[in-house]
Structure 1
């Protein structure tokens, strides 16, 4: 089964980093940074660190596992993380150079229900989970000691 890892990246200003995807003939949508777990990755967390580095030239402290979503043939694991540094201009992921992949734009949105309501975050299940966690006050992204 293919596995993907994604991160809810919380900044020092309590915003969240998301990637706005723009593709021809498809309404724009947003995703959380992350990607596929490779056989060479030592762990899921190592894969997430690699993906954060590739996609946003970032370094993050993973706080905890937040949610797992499974569909036919694919499992996505979502983690809560505190983003330390990032530079979208220095990204290196292979997806950025692929023909027909559309545009990727890094954005900061408020980590609030209103902030989430202003974007079309995919998959919808994680948007729902985040709304509930925000309402419950359970998205404190303090790094593990």
Structure 2
């Protein structure tokens, strides 16, 4: 059995905020996740998968800035990318997870780029929450080529 491969986009907005997906599931404390999902056969690479997932989940057009982090265990690999997004519409989301029975509630969270906001969002997985917290503390989450084309 091959490992699942997921691609996720840490989305920065023009207002220097962070977009996350809020999750409420029965029996669990509310938590949040970085936008993204599984790399599919038709995706050219994990970056392309992250861009596709952003479109499906928030109807936004992401621009990948750089790879941030890889989290891997025996079951899956998750690649996290820093990306920018200028426009989005959560009302126009189209990912298959939104229509599956028993998946709980999904909301779009727009948070300030602060450690306190990340901690309050209960970001999962905790290993990546710690990485993101460190990037924010060191002010390393700003896109290198912000505004450059």
Shift of 1:143: 6.1
Q: Which runs of 5+ in 1 are unaligned?
A: none
Q: Distance in 2 between matches of 1:81 and 1:110?
A: 16
Correspondence 1:70-109 to 2 at 5 A: 70-109=72-111
Instruction: Say what the alpha-carbon RMSD is for the aligned residues.
Output: 1.1
1:10 — aligned with what?
A: 12
1:42 — aligned with what?
A: 44
Question: In structure 2, do the counterparts of structure 1 residues 7 and 143 end up closer, same or farther at CA, with 3 Å as the change threshold?
Answer: farther
1:126 — aligned with what?
A: 128
Q: Which runs of 5+ in 2 are unaligned?
A: none
TM, length-normalised to structure 2:
0.93
Considering fraction of residues, name the structure with more strand: 1
TM, length-normalised to structure 1:
0.96
Which structure 1 residue ranges, 4+ long, deviate > 4 Å from structure 2? none
Shift of 1:112: 0.9
Query: Alignment length, in residue pairs?
Result: 145
Q: Secondary structure at the match of 1:85?
A: coil
